[in-house]
Amino acid sequence: MKDSYVIGVDYGTDSVRSILVNAHTGEEISAAVFYYPRWKDGLYCDAARNRFRQHPLDYQEGLEHTIRTCLKLAGPAAARAVRAISVDTTGSTPVAVDESGTPLALTPGFEQNPNAMFVLWKDHTATKEAAQINAHAATFPVNYLQFVGGIYSSEWFWAKLLHVLRADEQVRSACHSWVEHCDWIPFLLTGGTHISQMKRGTCSAGHKALWAAEFNGLPPNEFFSSLDPLLNCYTSRLFSQTYTADKAAGHLSPAWAERLGLSTEVLVGTGAFDAHMGAVGGQIEPYHLSKVMGTSTCDMLVAPMEEVAGKLVKGICGQVPGSVIPGMMGMEAGQSSFGDAYAWFRDLLSWPLIHFKQSLIDQLIPELTKQAALIPPEEHTGIALDWLNGRRTPDANQLLKGAITGVDLASSAPQIFRSIIESTCFGAKAIADRFSQEGIPVKGLIGMGGVARKSPQIMQIMADVMNMPLRIHRSDQTCAAGAAMFAATVAGIYNKVEDAMQAMGQGFDITYQPNPAHAAIYAKRYQQYQALGNFIEQQTV
């Protein structure tokens, strides 16, 4: 069989990774990673103000570096075998663009302006705007938030656009449209020259931008212009049609073909978010919660359309036909802080050591996890809340804060860290419970991502808290692998992405079974977690 290769590109928070994959077997031929240099230097960000921005040059440079490196590692014949490229990104991570579709940060005068750069998913500068969108939506006879769980988040498309327009007059004057990262990269690769040529993905449009077939596209201009006149006419500069990730955005442009060392015959797939493609890379199954566990979590669930017709799940990040697997309902939830909660505690303990010995700091989370796992669960010990970066789901509220209770003079660092681990697992249980309460059963768990692969102790606690088996996918790169599966489908090697998932999937290498005795204790501690959460929420203005 003649080799057919595809490339999956995964844009994460800190880096971009590309993998070159044999489309017939799923074998990873080569891989490369590029850490964003400007982001690594902390440029354009202000954590105290919850502002996190990324420069498009980081994305462009990383794209070229990783793909060229993959081809070089694979040998001189590899480039001729590449059939397609597909891309996933974090989201919602939008940017202001001019009429040509160029991010303003790549135009004269805006090179160093954070408001002209991509507004990263974790940027929470738009909490005021999100609250106003929620209040405004309640005054309309049509519920335009019904397909995004009934609550709009500051992490999403429209809240971020309104905040940037209000905050920066220069950007406001130059901004012609607003574009998700996952839509811009395929547009870039295919040589788009006008915003009207951009193919917007169903995934980002439905989960973050309020697009729905039931609305014949986006909500009407009146919805936005009556919220703030600054949004007047923006719907006409955006989109009405969207495309699932199994559709091609076009062919590689001559300029990018030369830049990457590939042919213009290479197809470029429509983009989507990392967790959605990651769920495919992790071989998602109907009604199994696919958990991408990293700095935050994204929890994906798919179900046959006919089985969930008429059901709306309150408080999640949306339910969109075709956003994960074309032809099935895709549902998204998640936690704003997961691995970030562990990193926060590491950084807290590291403060006096930060200028002493970096290698010691790097060992803190593994050692804390090991020691925390030696502590047996008890009903009456400290309880923590995982809202250190706000709450994504259920019921988005980025103003909420974390908490730790039950601390006394006998409390040790491993004990407090264990309560933080438990809190992230309780947060995961709250998501699964919401699906079940809304009539969408959760029949199993699939774990992916760095925490899932590297922290067996945390995964065992997760299985115990959720009281169901947790399967860990074998691949270290499920998001990039999912992108490669979509690329293979775009190239016509497979008729549908489910076939690509079956042929290219790497399977699972471990299953964590719940400990019944521990599960009983955690059921009681979960009630304490909920009570603490209710109290903290009442104190939040």
Phi and psi at 330, nearest 5°, equal: -105, 130
pLDDT of the residue at 362: 74
Please tell me whether residue 60 adopts helix, strand or coil conformation: helix
- Which residue reads 């809240």 in tokens? 159
Q: What is the pLDDT of residue 422?
A: 98
Each residue's pLDDT, cut to its tens digit, for the chain (541 residues) gives 478 999 999 999 999 999 999 999 999 999 999 999 999 999 999 988 999 999 999 999 999 999 999 999 999 999 999 999 999 999 999 999 999 999 999 999 999 999 999 999 999 999 999 999 999 999 999 999 999 999 999 999 999 999 999 999 999 999 999 999 999 999 999 999 999 999 999 999 999 999 999 999 999 999 999 999 999 999 999 999 999 999 999 999 999 999 999 999 999 999 999 999 999 999 999 999 999 898 889 999 999 999 999 999 999 999 999 999 999 999 999 998 899 999 989 888 876 665 555 566 778 889 899 999 999 999 999 999 999 989 999 999 989 999 999 998 888 999 999 999 999 999 999 999 999 999 999 999 999 988 999 999 999 999 999 999 999 999 989 999 999 999 999 999 999 999 999 999 999 999 999 999 999 999 999 999 999 999 999 997 6
Q: Which of 107, 257, 103, 91 is nearest to 195 (CA)?
A: 103
Predicted pLDDT at 357: 58
Strand 444-448 to 288-293 pairing: parallel
Q: Phi and psi at residue 160, in whole multiples of 5°?
A: -70, -40
175 Cβ contact partners less than 8 Å away, ≥ 6 residues apart = 96, 97, 98, 104, 164, 165
Cα separation, 346 vs 533, in Å, equals: 23
Question: Are the CB atoms for 356 and 109 separated by under 8 Å?
Answer: no
Neighbours of 403 (CB within 10 A): 17
DSSP string of 483-528, one letter each residue? HHHHHHHHTTSSSSHHHHHHHH---EEEEEPP-HHHHHHHHHHHHH
In this structure, how many other beta carbons lie within 10 angstroms of the beta carbon of residue 267? 20
Q: What pLDDT, on a 0 to 100 scale, did the predictor assign at position 448?
A: 93
Spell out the residues 6+ positions from residue 524 whose beta carbon is closer than 8 angstroms to its own: 379
Helix (H, G, I), strand (E, B) or coil at 430: helix
Q: From CA 268, how far away is CA 252, in angstroms rounded?
A: 6
Amino acid type, 381: T
DSSP state letters, 296-325: SEEEEEEEEGGGSTT---TTSS-EEETSSS
pLDDT, position 360: 67
CA dist., res. 31 & res. 16, Å (int): 11
CA-CA distance, 181 to 39, in Å (whole number)? 16
pLDDT for the residue numbered 295: 84
Q: What is the pLDDT of residue 353?
A: 66
Q: Measured between alpha carbons, how far is 211 from 217 in angstroms, rounded to an integer? A: 5
Helix (H, G, I), strand (E, B) or coil at 30: strand
Number of Cβ atoms within 10 Å of the Cβ of 196: 11
SS3 347: helix
Q: What is the pLDDT of residue 3?
A: 81
Q: Which of 342, 413, 394 is nearest to 530 (CA)?
A: 394
Rg (the chain; Cα; Å): 22
Bridge partner residues of 397 (DSSP): 391
| Residue 458, pLDDT score | 96
Backbone angles phi, psi at 226, to 5 degrees: -80, -20
Question: How many angstroms separate the CA atoms of 439 and 218, rounded?
Answer: 27
Q: How far apart are CA 446 and CA 469, in angstroms?
A: 9
Residues forming a β-bridge with 95: 179
Residue 414 tokens, joined: 């491993």
Domains and their CATH numbers in the chain = 5-273 (3.30.420.40), 285-474+507-541 (3.30.420.40)
Q: What is the pTM of this model?
A: 0.92
* Rounded Cα gap, residues 237 and 161, in angstroms: 13
Numbers of helices and strands, H then E, in the chain:
20, 20
Q: Is 74 exposed, middle or buried (0-12, 13-18, 19+ CB in 10 A)?
A: middle
Q: What is the pLDDT of residue 25?
A: 94
Given a contact cutoff of 8 angstroms between Cβ atoms, the answer to whether 122 and 389 are in contact is: yes
3-state class (DSSP) for residue 69: helix
pLDDT at residue number 111: 97
332: nearest Cα among 431, 476, 399: 431
